[in-house]
Structure 1
Amino acid sequence: MHQGPQLLVSVRDADEARAAMRGGVDIVDVKEPAHGPLGMADPHVIASVVEAVTEHDATRCCSAALGEVSDWFETCAVPALPGGLRYAKLGLSGLGRSASWCREWQDVRRRFEEASSGSWEWIAVAYADQQAADSPRLGEIIPAAAEASCAGVLIDTFDKRNGDLLSHLIAGELGEAAVQCHASGLFLAVAGRLSVASLSELAGTGCDVVGIRSAACEARDRQAAVRAECVAAFRRQMIEVFAHAEDRGDWRRQPGAAGNTGH
């Protein structure tokens, strides 16, 4: 098995999940891109993806996007999530000026846990385009994630029309985030319109998970379908680029840091 980061692909249904698995994905992430950067799919869709993954290869794991914390304020009923999820995540957009964002985040997390019979680990989400998202800063989110016993931190982009992850954070900043995460026992996942061209910069950062959707879809259109051949091509390039960086001593991922991801 390759020693680089794990590959996460966001899928919108069971058919896309099967395509991603044929392409060699490590983590199947369920979301509905039409509903926003962390748009939640219908619970029955999440359940069908979990079932498809379990039937195909029980060693792989599933994660689910649950929208933004602000989507679930007290007037909104929280649905029960199906069993079989390994990770779940909530966005923090619109909470950048809220002194109580951490409490609000944990309250919504608790409501999902109480509504559901299964259990999972949480991934905290930091938006690289923090001002566009009006979200808390990365420097606030990492310690909050550790305090809240999260498994990891995802750095993603909020506005998919305004550049990729590396348009907002340079590789050195991602590397510092990785150091902080690993020191706190967290893994670091990165996403945000990443492409094969992004890999050389990511390879020196120490990230543990690389997440894609656009690069996994036909014509790099995140609203199009995930294609197995696109996933496989990205995975091959990721393994090659990260292996080359490791040979040069550029890759700073700490041993065992990705062990928290369960693979």
Structure 2
Amino acid sequence: MMVRLLVSVRDVDEALAAAGAGADLIDLKEPADGALGGLAPERIARIVSVLRTRYPGLPISATVGDLPAEQADEILRRVGRVASRGVDYVKVGLWPTPEAPGRVTSLLDALADRTESIVPVLLVDEGLDAGLVDHALARGSFPGLMVDTATKRGGSLLQRVPAATLASFVAAVRSRGMLAGLAGSLRMDDAAALLALAPDFAGFRGAVTRGGRAGVLDPLLVRQLRGRFAAGAGAGHGRLATA
């Protein structure tokens, strides 16, 4: 299976560079403002306009910013604003709140009731909450589900969450006909392991920039990463067991 490559970009130049280098999905966000830092709606609209002209049919996602579940009303307002700029998917981060877990599930329910195409992103720095995954899947309203990390200096997602846990997540999401995505400080050398996990897409930023995730995107690195996925898929990497 070919893992599709999601590349996060912050402006038109980076978007065109990533698309030209073979990214399968362009993700709009501001990496200097957190894990899911949001761009201004006007910038989102500009990038979308250029990409639709140059690369029609290329999927585009955008984030709403790093907001806790306690700010559900603001999150929902931002979902509407971002979606109105023409993106295909709106990504919304879900930060675990141990002191009030019901707030996250309530936010999930509110998102599920929306008409926009929303992809919840579970932040798994403290582990993957299987109950939250089950709740999201049970709603059956989302086109996809993704995991990511909030803290980018703690190592790759694959170093922080057991492979079997990630494999079970991917299998559960795909069994519901939804897209499964993995992200979180993923590295170039993670390509082989990602092919074995077989998500629908894998998200990258720092691995394809010069000077860290807040640096400038390098299309040569995008091509290199794309080549690793293509070579691995051709070699017939199998999926990891979910047990």
Q: TM-score, normalised by structure 2?
A: 0.87
1:19 counterpart (17, 20, 23): 17
User: In the TM superposition, what is the alpha-carbon distance from 1:76 to its structure 2 partner?
Assistant: 8.0
Matched pairs, number: 235
Query: What per-residue deviation string (whole Å, max 9, x for no partner) do you get for residues 215-254 of structure 1?
Result: 11124x11111121111111011111233244xxx1369x
Matches within 5 A, 1:121-140: 121-130=117-126, 137-140=128-131
Which one-letter code corresponds to 1:125 in the other structure?
V
Asked if 2 retains the 8 angstrom alpha-carbon contact of 1:171 and 1:204, the reply is no
* Structure 2 partner of 1:235: 226
Query: Is the alpha carbon distance of 1:61 and 1:120 closer, same or farther for their aligned partners in structure 2, counting shifts above 3 Å?
Result: farther
Between the aligned partners of 1:94 and 1:47, the Cα distance in structure 2 is 30
Quickly say closer, same or farther: Cα 1:94–1:206, change in 2 above 3 A. Answer: closer
| Preserved CA contact (<8 Å) 2:96 2:104 | no
Shift of 1:180: 0.9
Tell me the percent identity. 26
**CA distance in structure 2 between the aligned counterparts of 1:104 and 1:120, rounded to whole angstroms:** 14
C-alpha displacement at 1:74, in angstroms?
4.2
What is the TM-score when the length of structure 1 is the normalising length? 0.81
Task: Return the match for 2:89 from 87, 90, 106.
Answer: 87
Query: Could you tell me whether the CA contact under 8 Å between 1:188 and 1:207 is conserved in 2?
Result: yes
Residues 45 and 214 (structure 1), Cα distance of their counterparts in 2 relative to 1, 3 Å cut: same
Q: Is 1:146 aligned with 2:134?
A: no
What amino acid does structure 2 have at the position aligned with 1:234? L
2:152 is aligned to 160
Return the offset for 1:9.
0.3
Compared with structure 1, are the counterparts of its residues 69 and 241 closer, same or farther at alpha carbon in structure 2 (3 Å cutoff)? same
Gaps of 5+ in 2: none
- Equivalence for 1:188: 180
Aligned counterparts of 1:39 and 1:202: Cα–Cα separation in 2: 24
Is contact 1:242-1:251 (8 Å) kept?
A: no
Distance 1:94 1:51, change over 3 A: same
1:160 maps to a residue whose letter is K
Following the alignment from structure 2 to structure 1, what is the Cα–Cα distance between the partners of residues 90 and 152? Answer: 21
* Unaligned 5+ runs, structure 1: 114-118, 132-136, 254-263
Deviation at 1:182, TM superposition (A): 1.4
CA distance in structure 2 between the partners assigned to 1:185 and 1:23 by the alignment:
29
